[in-house]
C-alpha cells in the first residue's frame, strides 16, 4: 500500500524556525499559514491541526472547497479566503462558515454588502491590491477609487490589506521592491482617508525569507513549512514528506531487453529489476508545463535542453537505504528500477523523494 510519510519532528523544526524568523525589530509578526493544495500535499486537515498544535492560529486557503473542508473538520481558527468572488452563493457560504473574505473589486463589495444586509451580519474581509500581478485585486494606480469603494461600508469590516508578489523568489528583484513601494503608496492614501486597515501582509514564503524588511505586521507562509523552496534558504529548513510503496515484483531481464514506453531504455547486460506501483498518477517525476513565453524564457529552455544532451540525468528510488535507478519512462501507475547486485525482495519499501504537493491527494498521509 502507498502512503506519504511526514516526520513530525522535521515539520516541527520548520515551524519553529519560521516562527523565530517572523519578527520585525523584535516585534512578533502574525503568521498566516497557507494550507492550499491539500496542505501543500500534507493533508489539509491533518496538516492544519498539526500547525494549530504548534502555535499557529491563522490560516489561508485558495478555494471555497478548502475552506469548507476545514470547517467541517471542526477547525475553528481564523481562515482567510485568498480568492475574491462576486458570486453571491459562494459569498453566502463563506459568511455562513465564518470565513474572512477577500475583496478586490467594487463588484465584490456590492455582493458582500448585499449578503451582510440580508443576513444582518458584519462580514470580515481583507482588501486585495493588485500591484502588478494581474489577478485578483484593486489596481494600485487607482487609490481614489479604492477609497470611494470602502469609505462607507455598512456590513463589512476591513481587517487587513494585502498584495501578492510575482518575482520574490529572485534575491535581487527590483520588481519586488517596485510592487512593495506601490502597495505602501496605496496604504498611505487609505490612511490619509481614515480607512481602517487592520493587518498588512505582502510576503509569501519566498519574500518572507528574502525580504525581512517587508514583513510589515503579517506574512503568508506556505511552501516554506514544507522545506521546499526554489532557492537556497538560510533558515535550515528540512524537506518534509516522502512517498513510500512496496516492491510488488522482482525479476531478471536479459541483455538487449526493452523497458517501458517508447522502448526508451534497453538493457546492456542481464539486469535484475524491481517493479514498484507508483507513477505519474502519484506525482512521481511530475514536471510543470512550460507556460512562460518571453523570448528570454524560450532561450533558457533551449540552453537547458542542449545541456541535457551532454548531462546524464536519472531518477532514483531508495530501497533498503540504497539508491536504485529508474529505467525507461515513468509509467502512469508503475516504475521499473535497476536492483542488480542489491538484496531487494518483494515487500521491501521503496522511498521516492518527489515533492509532496504533487502526490495524489487520495494517498494516505501518515504523520510519524
Helix-strand-coil split of the chain, %, nearest 5: 35, 25, 40
- What is the gyration radius of the CA atoms in the chain, in angstroms? 24
- Answer whether residue 308 shows pLDDT above 60: no
CA distance 36 to 19: 19
How far CA 74 is from CA of 35, 64, 94, 154, 261, in Å, comes to: 16, 16, 15, 30, 46
Identify the band that residue 212 occupies on the pLDDT scale cut at 50, 70 and 90.
very high
CA distance 174 to 270: 56
Identify the band that residue 228 occupies on the pLDDT scale cut at 50, 70 and 90.
confident
pLDDT at 252: 97
pLDDT at 298: 64
Identify the band that residue 300 occupies on the pLDDT scale cut at 50, 70 and 90.
low
- 6-226 and 242-352: same fold? no
Select from 228, 220, 223, 183 the least CA-distant residue to 79: 220
pLDDT digits (tens, 9 = 90+) for 11-40: 999 999 999 999 765 677 999 999 999 999
β-bridge mates for residue 318, sequence order: 323, 351
Exactly one of 3, 12, 19, 36 is catalytic; name it.
36
2.40.37.10, 3.40.50.300, 3.40.50.1980, 3.30.70.360: CATH of 242-352 = 2.40.37.10
pLDDT at 171: 72
pLDDT digits (tens, 9 = 90+) for 68-124: 999 999 999 999 999 999 999 999 999 999 999 999 999 999 999 999 999 999 999
Query: Which has more pLDDT, 355 or 144?
Result: 144
> What's domain 6-226's architecture?
Alpha-Beta Barrel (3.20)
- Choose the weakest-confidence range: 16-25, 213-222, 309-318: 309-318
Catalytic-residue membership of 36: yes
Query: Angle at the Cα of 234 (from 61 to 221), degrees rounded to 5?
Result: 10
Identify the band that residue 352 occupies on the pLDDT scale cut at 50, 70 and 90.
very high
Task: List the grid coordinates of 147.
Answer: 477609497
Q: How far is CA 155 from the centre of its chain?
A: 32
- Structure pTM? 0.89
- Answer whether residue 295 shows pLDDT above 80: no
- Residue boundaries of the structural domains of the chain: 6-226, 242-352
Query: Which has more pLDDT, 23 or 238?
Result: 238
Exactly one of 145, 191, 255, 261 is catalytic; name it.
261
Amino acid at each position: 500500500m502507498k502512503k506519504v510519510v511526514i516526520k513530525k519532528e522535521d515539520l516541527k523544526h520548520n515551524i519553529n524556525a519560521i516562527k523565530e524568523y517572523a519578527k520585525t525589530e523584535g516585534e512578533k509578526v502574525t503568521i498566516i499559514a497557507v494550507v492550499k493544495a491539500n496542505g501543500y500535499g500534507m493533508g489539509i486537515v491533518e496538516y492544519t491541526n498539526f500547525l494549530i498544535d504548534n502555535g499557529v492560529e491563522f490560516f489561508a486557503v485558495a478555494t471555497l472547497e478548502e475552506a469548507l473542508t476545514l470547517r467541517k473538520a471542526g477547525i475553528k481558527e481564523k481562515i482567510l479566503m485568498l480568492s475574491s468572488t462576486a458570486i453571491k452563493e459562494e459569498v453566502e457560504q463563506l459568511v455562513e462558515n465564518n470565513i474572512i473574505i477577500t475583496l478586490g473589486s467594487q463588484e465584490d463589495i456590492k455582493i458582500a454588502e448585499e449578503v451582510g444586509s440580508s443576513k444582518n451580519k458584519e462580514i470580515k474581509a481583507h482588501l486585495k491590491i493588485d500591484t502588478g500581478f494581474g489577478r485578483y485585486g484593486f489596481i494600485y494606480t487607482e487609490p481614489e477609487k479604492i477609497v470611494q469603494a470602502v469609505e462607507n461600508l455598512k456590513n463589512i469590516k476591513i481587517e487587513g490589506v494585502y498584495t501578492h508578489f510575482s518575482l520574490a523568489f529572485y534575491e535581487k528583484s527590483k520588481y519586488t521592491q517596485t510592487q512593495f513601494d506601490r502597495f505602501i503608496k496605496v496604504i498611505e492614501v487609505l490612511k490619509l482617508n481614515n480607512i481602517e486597515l487592520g493587518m498588512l501582509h505582502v510576503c509569501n514564503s519566498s519574500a518572507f525569507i528574502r525580504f525581512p524588511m517587508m514583513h510589515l505586521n503579517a506574512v503568508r507562509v506556505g511552501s516554506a513549512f514544507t522545506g521546499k523552496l526554489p532557492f537556497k534558504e538560510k533558515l535550515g529548513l528540512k524537506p518534509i514528506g516522502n512517498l513510500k510503496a512496496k516492491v510488488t515484483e522482482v525479476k531478471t531481464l536479459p541483455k538487449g531487453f526493452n523497458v517501458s514506453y517508447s522502448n526508451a531504455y534497453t538493457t546492456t547486460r542481464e539486469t535484475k529489476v524491481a517493479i514498484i506501483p507508483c507513477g505519474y498518477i502519484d506525482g512521481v517525476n511530475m514536471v510543470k508545463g512550460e507556460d512562460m513565453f518571453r523570448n528570454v524564457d524560450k532561450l533558457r529552455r533551449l540552453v537547458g535542453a542542449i545541456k541535457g544532451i551532454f548531462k546524464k540525468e536519472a531518477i532514483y528510488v531508495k530501497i533498503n537505504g540504497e539508491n536504485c535507478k529508474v529505467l525507461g519512462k515513468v509509467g502512469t501507475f508503475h516504475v521499473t528500477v535497476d536492483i542488480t547486485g542489491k538484496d531487494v525482495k518483494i515487500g521491501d519499501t521503496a522511498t521516492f523523494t518527489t515533492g509532496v504537493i504533487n502526490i495524489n491527494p487520495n494517498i494516505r498521509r501518515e504523520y510519524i
